[in-house]
Structure 1
Amino acid sequence: MADLTTPIELQRPPVVKFGPGTAPEVGAFAAAHGYRRTLVVADAFNAGRTALLGLGGEIAVFGRVVPEPDTENLDAALAEAARFEPDLVVGFGGGSAMDLAKLVAVLHDGHQTLAEVVGPERVAGRRVGLLQVPTTAGTGSEAGTRALVTDPRTSAKLAVQSRFMLADLAVVDPDLTLTVPPQVTAETGIDALAHCVEAYTNRKAHPLVDIHALEGIRLVGRYLKRAVANGADREARAGLALASLYGGYCLGPVNTAAGHAVAYPLGTRHHIAHGAANAVIFPHVLAFNAPAVPERTATILEALGLAATDEPDQVLAQAYGFCIDLGIEMRMARRGVPETDLATMADEAITIRRLLDNNPRDLARDDILALYRAAF
């Protein structure tokens, strides 16, 4: 892990508007900067409430973003952008919508293809504005420079990272999350938690990021159960929105680790929502890593309001119980994953070195298979 003598670079949106009722700041920003043709990239639900953004001028809406979007979904969004020729792209929804908005913003003019930009800093530039408006509290994608889509031929995640995919403005209005149902609230909340935990226990963990990671964990511990129990609790919704934003701050300079790598095949192969996949895996990886980062593991549990311990069995029991108390289905078998697929999933997960190499404890392919069996 890094210390105060280790250089680090933070990349964040130059402007972040946070707080209930801030959604119309999107339209105000667009008008102030002279944008006249806005493409909103959204899922079907949020496509029906774009009026909340206060946009003027000509507006087109690509409202067909799907959970765990693949390259075909991206191609459809790019086709709409090519038809409309926007000067501003707005991501409006969860992480899937915001990730597609990033890719549309840098690829819509046809100067580069997706294959040419996969990987770190391969995007040549961006010629349109980009604003991000999350409607869930989980991914923190509004604050980051990464976007992921699935290649349906290989069931692998294609990750693009570029400073050109950083939003000009992120508007985090917790009131937009009031309609999120309890199950999705719980699962996306664990996704935000996983971002913070995996950054805090990461081999690249840094004091400049730790402060956001630890406070994000505390916010989840304080507010997630409240928001699940009462979706109209505006303070709890704001607390989770801030936790998600802090998780997004963690992703750029540090990123996630084994938890996300092990969770990805659940989404790409079995179309389990990203938050749900991370929730199923989270307690098992936290316990696996405990021997490598005992003090930080105990601090995480304490921040969640649980008993501080670094003993793996107790770590697993407490983290698992935290998720169960939120009403999350924690068994992969109950989510439609066949036991016969576990070995193939382990084969896929072990190849995600960009994340596994961040993990504080090395995982072999058999370790991943054991995690799947424990979660099955």
Structure 2
Amino acid sequence: MTRLDHPLEMLRPPCVRFGTGQVGTLADWLAAAGCSRPFIVADAFNASRLSALGLGEPRLFGEVKPEPDLPNLQKAVAAAEAADPDAVIGFGGGSAMDLAKLVAVMVGSGKGLKDISGPNRAPARRVRLVQVPTTAGTGSEVGTRALVTDPETHNKIATESPHMLADLAIVDPELTASVPSSVTAATGIDAMAHCVEAFTSRRSHPIIDAYALQGIELVGRFLPRAVQDGSDMEARAGLSLAALYGGVCLGPVNTTAGHAISYPLGSRHEIAHGIANAMIFPHVLAANASAVPQKTRLVGRALGFDASSDNATFNGGFAFCEALGLDMALSAHGVPQDDLPAMAREAHAIRRLLDFNPRDLSEADILAIYEAAY
């Protein structure tokens, strides 16, 4: 952990509206901002319930993929160019909100993803950007980073810029009430993983630790309840807050090995990001435990299990995820065993995350994690 006096920059949307019914304020906010041509970026499910936004019949790109790739982004940008919007609204999970960020900085700019990918290369926006999450997982609504997959290399292309920060984030837990229990479990584990990996990162900071630990505690308290009863609005609100806290952690600190090792499961085998994180989570938590023993014990306490040894840490993390109804074996999700070495090479190359893992993991270490999870 870095010292308390270590410099840290935190960027937040200038306006965050949290709580049940807050989505009903969107139309008035757009009107006050002088926006009359909103353009919605959504997945197919959320494209079918645009009435929740209270905007009439806005222009729409409703084909966001669960793991958006470069062609998906290009199609969304083309639709936005045709719509000539003055506001872009991400409506959905992390994939929709990530594409909305990229669409907002690319529309009217004449630039492609290769021109803006990486840190601080995106142009200033010509449109307003609003994020409305409908799952409690990524925390993308409060972040400046977006990921899309290159279909040729299967690698995640990261873009990060202050220009991709939303003007308004509306976090309304009621919008998550229709999320099935399996998706609730997976997205909740994603929120938890953001917090755990930031909490144990070499770049961890006391300011971010406070958000991270609260986020983990919220997941431990409310995720089992929300999986058991999707109409439990206190649990839905708790998870929405946990996801927001996870998003807060991503900007200044970011994730580490858990996400690096989970990425090939999505980019190569189209496994949902939350489920991929769940399958990898207990293995990485146990692998890192000796490097950050005190923080690992705090993670275990927040989630309700003993983490006093590597074995207890793994068993507790695995049991927490499995009790949510998640199948924790890679083989059950169609991952071919002969692809594990290629996945390990690909994951090991994601240095932007692995370099800040609390323990150095070799390619062989990562392969061993995949084999144990298989």
CA contact (8 A) 1:28 1:54 kept: no
Measure, in 1, the Cα distance between the counterparts of 2:99 and 2:88: 10
Measure, in 2, the Cα distance between the counterparts of 1:293 and 1:111: 46
- Partner of 2:310 in structure 1? 312
- Partner of 1:91 in structure 2? 90
Q: CA deviation at 1:20?
A: 0.8
Q: 1:337 aligns with which of 329, 335, 338?
A: 335
Question: Is 1:69 matched with 2:68?
Answer: yes
**DSSP-derived class of the 1:23 partner:** helix
Deviations 1:204-245 (A, max 9, x none): 100111110000000000000000000000000000000000
Measure, in 2, the Cα distance between the counterparts of 1:359 and 1:189: 22
Alignment map for 1:108-187 (pairs within 5 Å): 108-187=107-186
Q: CA deviation at 1:51?
A: 1.6
Q: CA deviation at 1:118?
A: 1.0
User: What residue identity is the alignment partner of 1:20?
Assistant: T
Alignment map for 1:32-71 (pairs within 5 Å): 32-55=32-55, 59-71=58-70
- Partner of 2:27 in structure 1? 27
Q: CA deviation at 1:37?
A: 0.5
CA contact (8 A) 1:105 1:129 kept: yes
Measure, in 1, the Cα distance between the counterparts of 2:343 and 2:79: 34
Q: CA deviation at 1:124?
A: 2.2
- Partner of 1:351 in structure 2? 349
- Partner of 2:277 in structure 1? 278
Q: CA deviation at 1:343?
A: 0.3
- Partner of 2:13 in structure 1? 13
Range that drifts further, 16-25 or 216-225: 16-25
TM-score by length of 2: 0.99
Range that drifts further, 67-76 or 309-318: 309-318
- Partner of 1:3 in structure 2? 3
Deviations 1:255-307 (A, max 9, x none): 00000000000000000011111111011000000000000000000011222
Q: CA deviation at 1:310?
A: 3.4
Q: Which stretches in structure 2 are left out of the alignment for 5+ residues?
A: none
Deviations 1:325-373 (A, max 9, x none): 1000100000000100000000100110000011000011000000000
Identity of counterpart residues, as a percentage?
A: 59
CA contact (8 A) 2:109 2:123 kept: no
Measure, in 2, the Cα distance between the counterparts of 1:127 and 1:3: 39
- Partner of 1:252 in structure 2? 251
CA contact (8 A) 2:260 2:347 kept: yes
TM-score by length of 1: 0.98
Question: Is 1:223 matched with 2:254?
Answer: no
**DSSP-derived class of the 1:328 partner:** coil
Which structure 1 residue ranges, 4+ long, deviate > 3 Å from structure 2? none
Q: Which stretches in structure 1 are left out of the alignment for 5+ residues?
A: none
Q: CA deviation at 1:117?
A: 1.0
Q: How many residues are matched?
A: 374
**DSSP-derived class of the 1:35 partner:** coil
**DSSP-derived class of the 2:226 partner:** helix
Alignment map for 1:353-368 (pairs within 5 Å): 353-368=351-366
Q: 2:326 aligns with which of 328, 346, 359?
A: 328
Q: CA deviation at 1:50?
A: 1.4
